[in-house]
A and B are shown apart, each in its own frame.
Chain A
Amino acid sequence: MYEEYSSEHKEFIRKEKVTNNAVMISRIIILVALFALWEVAAEMRWIDPFIMSQPSRIVKTMVNLSKDGSLFLHTGVTIYETIIGFVSGTILGTLVAIVLWWSSFTARVLDPYLVVLNALPKTALGPIILVWVGGTTGSIIVMALLLSIIVTILNVYQSFKSCDEDKIKLLKTFGATKIQILRKVVFPSSIPEIISTLKINVGLSLVGVIVGEFLVSKAGLGHLIIYGGQVFKMDLVMTSVIILAIAAALMYLSVAWIEKKFVKMR
């Protein structure tokens, strides 16, 4: 471990580090510059802060919202609904994929339905769900679930089907039953695919949750955005969007982190 590297190798490492730092610094500069420009433009009245909002106003709004605790309430609600949405979407979707793998007849019968459901923009079903399930959290979660489940079914089923036939044959020569084949090879070899589907589902569920919150509009960041838009409080809209961006990134990163841990374990 404490090997002494050649000066050539040290130089290589140094150059890599310099490039990495330059990338990081450039990213930060873009972010800071954008916000600074926005702030100055609003301050100098080049743009109307009433319509375009302004970073300092956003910060003020954030402070006010956190003082009465509503910031955490709305963010928490959105995150909670999203997590329920993508976890249940992934689990239910995987279960359906298992059924399809088990019975190729069922898979063939359902194939056109899945294709149409996949192509259909699920958000169009929002009003129907609202009427059927009611203006509750339930509607929002159904929306999130609907967005993620179809993709999950298709991806996971595809991964089950692409399991190496020779590996299955090997188990068959030992006399494996169908359930053993599923448990010993088909499912375990698809776990990376299931986790990467989970990653896609974070984004999809979030779309479902925000659309759901637009419609139900009781709580959550989607509710804040639609409410802010209706009463023309652009500060509130912008604040909510920025918090939403941060929350989305954090959720995605945590799933990516779990994936990395898992891949390392194998």
Chain B
Amino acid sequence: MDKVVELKNVTMNYHTLEGETQAIKNLSLDIRRGEFVSIVGPSGCGKSTLLSLISGLIKSSTGEILINNEPVVGLASNVGYMPQRDHLFEWLTILRNTTIGLEIQKKLNKDTLRNAERLLEEYGLGEFKYYYPKQLSGGMRQRAALIRTLAVNPEILLLDEPFSSLDYQTRLAISEEIWLIIKKEKKTAILVTHDIAEAVSMSDRIIVLTRRPGEVKSEHDIQLTTCENKTPIICREAPEFRIYFNKIWKELDVHV
């Protein structure tokens, strides 16, 4: 399968007056087209840094990052980023929130607007498009945030613990919904999370990082025996679910 994202020996150092911190060390990985990959690791292992590197927000100290076999120079254009909280702007309607990316990229026209409205319609926010964010529930807000990312039509979605601010029930429901949307829109997705169960239920592959400085510790191809139409919640019932969970839990080597 063809590689969409490729990291070759990437190292990232942060500099402050107090000193130098190595966040990521000599990290290499490939993401294939259409894959759903989760990155798990102990807190502070440079998971979020990794996403910032792929999106081109920050430049790596050494190493190379390729998207569709092209090195990332400046901001990666075909990458969509979804932050930890929804970060909808309270002063804009849902529709205007979802088109903010288009507005910034000066791509807001009849077609792109119609596309954003279609996404809202399709994913159950059609009648709320003139509502303000605070009138919506946490799950709906998260969906609106995903549509905002999808509206600019990125190839690759970077999900930076997008469910961590939600309560557990909402979290299960919305991760199911968002997974379905991502599959339906045929996007490649990279999910950063510290929730092992979430990672196992949603991913095709899981990459475990070591403690800082982050390196790849192991990779797991997730193969669960479920029915045809598998979704994250159904995946949780698979017999192998527990095995993957325990394996990754041990690898994370958590000491409190």
User: A interface vs B, CB < 8 Å?
Assistant: 164, 166-167, 169-176, 180, 184-185, 188-189, 191, 266
Cβ B100 vs Cβ A174 within 8 A: yes
A interface, by DSSP: helix, strand, loop or mixed? helix
9 new A-B pairs (CB below 8 Å) besides A170-B81, A172-B75, A189-B91? Answer: A166-B85, A170-B83, A171-B104, A172-B57, A173-B55, A173-B80, A174-B105, A175-B105, A266-B132
B42 located at the interface, meaning its Cβ lies under 8 Å from any Cβ of chain A in the complex: no
Cβ B90 vs Cβ A166 within 8 A: no
Number of chain B residues close to chain A: CB under 8 A = 21
Residues of chain B with a CB closer than 8 A to A169's CB: 57, 81, 83
Cβ A167 vs Cβ B87 within 8 A: yes
Residues of chain A with a CB closer than 8 A to B81's CB: 169-170, 173
Bound CA–CA A166/B103 (angstroms): 19
Cβ B89 vs Cβ A185 within 8 A: yes
Tell me whether A166 and B83 are in contact in the complex, defined as CB-CB below 8 angstroms, given that A175-B75, A266-B132 are known contacts: yes
Q: State the Cβ distance, A14 to closest chain B Cβ, in Å.
A: 32
Q: State the Cβ distance, B55 to closest chain A Cβ, in Å.
A: 5
Residues of chain A with a CB closer than 8 A to B83's CB: 166, 169-170
Residues of chain A with a CB closer than 8 A to B75's CB: 172-173, 175
User: B interface vs A, CB < 8 Å?
Assistant: 55, 57, 75, 77, 79-81, 83-85, 87, 89-91, 100-101, 103-105, 132, 152
B interface, by DSSP: helix, strand, loop or mixed? loop
Residues of chain A with a CB closer than 8 A to B89's CB: 167, 184-185, 188-189
Residues of chain B with a CB closer than 8 A to A172's CB: 57, 75
Bound CA–CA A180/B106 (angstroms): 11
Bound CA–CA A172/B158 (angstroms): 14
Residues of chain A with a CB closer than 8 A to B100's CB: 171, 174, 184
State the 8 A-B residue pairs at the shortest beta-carbon distance, nearest first: A173-B81, A174-B101, A174-B104, A176-B104, A167-B87, A175-B75, A266-B91, A170-B87
Bound CA–CA A23/B90 (angstroms): 36
Residues of chain B with a CB closer than 8 A to A188's CB: 89, 91
Q: State the Cβ distance, B106 to closest chain A Cβ, in Å.
A: 10
Can you spell out 8 A-B residue pairs with CB atoms less than 8 angstroms apart? A166-B83, A166-B84, A166-B85, A173-B57, A173-B80, A174-B101, A174-B105, A184-B103
Bound CA–CA A247/B88 (angstroms): 41
Residues of chain B with a CB closer than 8 A to A176's CB: 104
Bound CA–CA A173/B75 (angstroms): 7
Q: State the Cβ distance, A88 to closest chain B Cβ, in Å.
A: 25
Question: Nearest CB to that of A172 among chain B residues?
Answer: B57
Bound CA–CA A164/B57 (angstroms): 17
Residues of chain A with a CB closer than 8 A to B103's CB: 184
Q: State the Cβ distance, B51 to closest chain A Cβ, in Å.
A: 10
